[in-house]
Chains A and B, each alone.
Chain A
Amino acid sequence: MSTTEESPVFIPADGALDFGGVVRSEWIKFRSVRSTWWAYAILLVVTVGVGAQVSSSLSFDGMPGVPTQDAIQDMAVYAVTVSTDFGVLVVGVLGVIVIAGEYGTGMIQSTVTAVPRRLPILVAKALVVAVATFVVSSVALAMTVPVSATLLAGNGVAVRLDDPQYWIVLLGSVGYLVLVSLIAFSVGALLRSTAGGTAATFGLLLVVPVATSFLPAWAENIAILLPSVAGDVLLSYPTEQSWVDLAAPTAGSAWITEPWQGGLTLIAWVAVLFTAAAVLLRERDA
């Protein structure tokens, strides 16, 4: 057609898509569903509640031998972080739900339509889950510490709070929860199913360690790379004398013994699973 019609041409308004916007969007989504609040409320209550309960019932009374300050610190760390393994279940479910839930409800279509490049969605979601988990588990431990120290003092266990190692283990507990939430998130993104994602995550964290204990000795060197083993390393106080048995030396793992090694192991898990999830998010139909 050579004649131009008199119809107006619509020009869209300004305001563009950027990563900051995607993070804000994911934060609104995260805080506007009940499951988030339930999960974090449970994490907070169980951390403080169980920490307080355990602290009130721990002491060295009746134990043979004299506890060193290390053994006392070891006990104090145990009392505060005792519910970490339970926290792992909570943040594991939450991490899976955050992404797999979008596939379950169909919300992912709206999300991908708004952010068609897709990768920023995954990064922003992971960021929101990680930061929120960091904040909530830090607050939970910060609330548990004074309660625990007071209760332990009542049992004759004088905890030194100026001990940097004490805080490093607490930080390790927080880091473990954050990294597990990211492992669960990546598994959820790979499997796109809440049921499948939680089953796979808990399989990796709880079942595989048990299964590998039945393997021949050489396999233990591989089993040591499991996230749960890394978690144990992060949560152990470096001491010659464990509070559980003052006479026995602490048994270290074969070649992952330092907290930073445990941390690196977990980061490697996150990196591999997250990368796989990112590649598949780009390739698959939404």
Chain B
Amino acid sequence: MIEAESLTKRYGANTAVDSINFTVRPGRVTGFLGPNGAGKSTTMRMILGLDRPSSGVVRVNGKAYARHHAPLRQVGALLDAKAVHPGRSARNHLLAVAATHHIGAKRVDEVIGLTGLEPVARKRVGGFSLGMGQRLGLAVALLGDPATLILDEPVNGLDPEGVVWLRGLARRLALEGRTVFLSSHLMSEMAQTADHVIILGRGRIVADAPVSEIVARADGDSVQVRSPQVDHLTHLLQAEGATVSRVEADLVSVTNLGTSRIAEIAAAAGVVVYELTPIARSLEEAYIALTRDEVEYRTTQTSPEVNR
């Protein structure tokens, strides 16, 4: 369980995290989503006490992270896979971190096996690929068999097989009753892994809801109808409870009514229909729409409202 209250981080005049409140609950995977620079990493660093909040508090499993007697048993974190001395072997890095909590070599070799690091465990970390570095970071996070996992962009650099493995791992850890909090800047990734998402944009929370709800919100299912008798059809559809808005002279956008029902109504009234197109906004588009005003840097050409 992670609880943030009015959590704020300012760097001079720039507010990276702006008085956010959220709760990450155990037993499910919570995604932390937002464009680059939204404040995700800063929030995670504050949870772990690496950065001191400008104001507000954040608690992990009831108290500030640093106040736990065995911090690594409470929280396993992967923030920056590069946070390793390149001259040290992966196994020695793990042994060093484990030693602080009297975690033995047996557990170290266990997490090496779990993350598939055996072939490179005794090699110096400096020569690791991005994916291997990421697996080492995950091994460190798992060392204390922690109740809460905080993973910043964990799929970053993993090969496709590694991505699938990580999704399975996150789900399994959540099923065991642990709190799993992982960040990404890709909605599609979250949609496949998370049960719940917190969306951050420019330091503020834009959405905090179950994935299913975000998906439902995204699918504001609309249908495009093109007809020479568009005015007549509009009356008929409105009578059925649909919301109709004019797009072009002969084109309307219809919500609250499915394509088949629209076709039946048109056929019954003898209205000619040239085009009947269901428009479903993708999750990614919903996310872009949610965070559109919250992106710090954006390319000047915005994506079209609808595609297909």
By a CB distance below 8 angstroms, the chain A residues around B27 are: 5, 7-9
Does A109 interact with chain B (Cβ within 8 Å)? yes
Q: A101-B85, A106-B80 are in contact. Are A114 and B97 (CB under 8 A)?
A: yes
Q: Across the interface, do A17 and B85 meet the contact criterion of CB distance under 8 Å? A: no
Bound-state Cα–Cα, A28 to B178, Å: 30
Bound-state Cα–Cα, A10 to B172, Å: 12
Q: Across the interface, do A10 and B85 meet the contact criterion of CB distance under 8 Å? A: no
Chain A residue nearest in CB terms to B98:
A25
Q: Across the interface, do B50 and A106 meet the contact criterion of CB distance under 8 Å? A: no
1/0 contact trace for A10-37 toward B, CB 8 Å?
A: 1111111110111011101100111100
Other-chain contact of B147, A11, A20, A34, A35 (Cβ < 8 Å): A11
Q: Across the interface, do A12 and B147 meet the contact criterion of CB distance under 8 Å? A: yes
Q: Across the interface, do B178 and A10 meet the contact criterion of CB distance under 8 Å? A: yes
Q: A21-B102, A106-B82 are in contact. Are A286 and B51 (CB under 8 A)?
A: yes
By a CB distance below 8 angstroms, the chain A residues around B50 are: 109, 112-113, 285-286
Does A153 interact with chain B (Cβ within 8 Å)? no
Bound-state Cα–Cα, A109 to B178, Å: 23
Chain B residue nearest in CB terms to A117:
B66
Does B96 interact with chain A (Cβ within 8 Å)? yes
Q: Across the interface, do B85 and A29 meet the contact criterion of CB distance under 8 Å? A: yes
Instruction: Give the contact-size bracket for chain A.
Output: 35 or more
Q: Across the interface, do A16 and B70 meet the contact criterion of CB distance under 8 Å? A: yes
CB A32 to nearest CB in B, in angstroms, measures: 4
How many residues on the B side are at the interface (Cβ–Cβ under 8 A)? 48
Does B164 interact with chain A (Cβ within 8 Å)? no
Q: A29-B85, A114-B100 are in contact. Are A12 and B176 (CB under 8 A)?
A: no
Does B228 interact with chain A (Cβ within 8 Å)? no
Q: Across the interface, do B83 and A106 meet the contact criterion of CB distance under 8 Å? A: yes
Bound-state Cα–Cα, A18 to B45, Å: 23
Other-chain contact of A107, B72, B84, B103, B178 (Cβ < 8 Å): B84
By a CB distance below 8 angstroms, the chain B residues around A17 are: 69-72, 100-101
Q: Across the interface, do B147 and A102 meet the contact criterion of CB distance under 8 Å? A: no
Chain A residue nearest in CB terms to B28:
A7
Does B74 interact with chain A (Cβ within 8 Å)? yes
Q: A9-B26, A12-B74, A106-B80 are in contact. Are A28 and B52 (CB under 8 A)?
A: no
Other-chain contact of A32, B28, B65, B72, B88 (Cβ < 8 Å): B88
Bound-state Cα–Cα, A286 to B44, Å: 13
By a CB distance below 8 angstroms, the chain B residues around A9 are: 26-27, 177
Does A105 interact with chain B (Cβ within 8 Å)? yes
Bound-state Cα–Cα, A9 to B49, Å: 25
CB A156 to nearest CB in B, in angstroms, measures: 49
Q: Across the interface, do A106 and B84 meet the contact criterion of CB distance under 8 Å? A: yes
Q: Across the interface, do A25 and B66 meet the contact criterion of CB distance under 8 Å? A: no
Does A191 interact with chain B (Cβ within 8 Å)? no
Bound-state Cα–Cα, A100 to B163, Å: 34
Bound-state Cα–Cα, A28 to B251, Å: 72
Chain B residue nearest in CB terms to A114:
B100
Chain B, range 13-57, C-beta contacts under 8 Å to A? 26-28, 45, 48-52
Q: A15-B102, A106-B84 are in contact. Are A8 and B77 (CB under 8 A)?
A: no
By a CB distance below 8 angstroms, the chain B residues around A7 are: 26-28, 175, 177
Bound-state Cα–Cα, A270 to B241, Å: 80
Q: A21-B102, A32-B89, A113-B48 are in contact. Are A13 and B83 (CB under 8 A)?
A: no
Does B79 interact with chain A (Cβ within 8 Å)? yes
1/0 contact trace for B268-306 toward A, CB 8 Å?
A: 000000000000000000000000000000000000000
Bound-state Cα–Cα, A101 to B79, Å: 19
By a CB distance below 8 angstroms, the chain A residues around B258 are: none
Q: Across the interface, do B87 and A35 meet the contact criterion of CB distance under 8 Å? A: yes
CB B184 to nearest CB in A, in angstroms, measures: 20
Bound-state Cα–Cα, A235 to B212, Å: 75
Does B118 interact with chain A (Cβ within 8 Å)? no
Does B154 interact with chain A (Cβ within 8 Å)? no
Q: Across the interface, do B80 and A285 meet the contact criterion of CB distance under 8 Å? A: no
Does A2 interact with chain B (Cβ within 8 Å)? no
By a CB distance below 8 angstroms, the chain B residues around A3 are: none
By a CB distance below 8 angstroms, the chain B residues around A114 are: 71-72, 97, 100-101
Other-chain contact of A16, B26, B49, B98, B101 (Cβ < 8 Å): B101
By a CB distance below 8 angstroms, the chain B residues around A15 are: 70, 73, 101-103, 144
By a CB distance below 8 angstroms, the chain B residues around A108 are: 83
By a CB distance below 8 angstroms, the chain A residues around B62 are: none
Does A110 interact with chain B (Cβ within 8 Å)? yes
Q: Across the interface, do B88 and A33 meet the contact criterion of CB distance under 8 Å? A: yes
Q: Across the interface, do B79 and A113 meet the contact criterion of CB distance under 8 Å? A: yes
Q: Across the interface, do A29 and B26 meet the contact criterion of CB distance under 8 Å? A: no
By a CB distance below 8 angstroms, the chain A residues around B244 are: none
Does B140 interact with chain A (Cβ within 8 Å)? yes
Chain A residue nearest in CB terms to B89:
A32
Does B146 interact with chain A (Cβ within 8 Å)? yes
By a CB distance below 8 angstroms, the chain A residues around B70 are: 12, 14-17
Does A54 interact with chain B (Cβ within 8 Å)? no
Q: Which 3 A-B pairs have the closest CB atoms?
A: A116-B66, A7-B27, A10-B177
What are 20 A-B pairs with beta-carbon distances under 8 A? A9-B27, A12-B70, A12-B74, A13-B73, A14-B70, A15-B103, A17-B101, A21-B100, A25-B96, A32-B92, A33-B88, A35-B87, A110-B140, A112-B50, A113-B72, A114-B71, A115-B100, A283-B52, A285-B45, A286-B50
Interface, chain A (partner B; CB < 8 A):
5, 7-18, 20-22, 24-26, 28-29, 32-35, 101-102, 105-110, 112-117, 283, 285-286
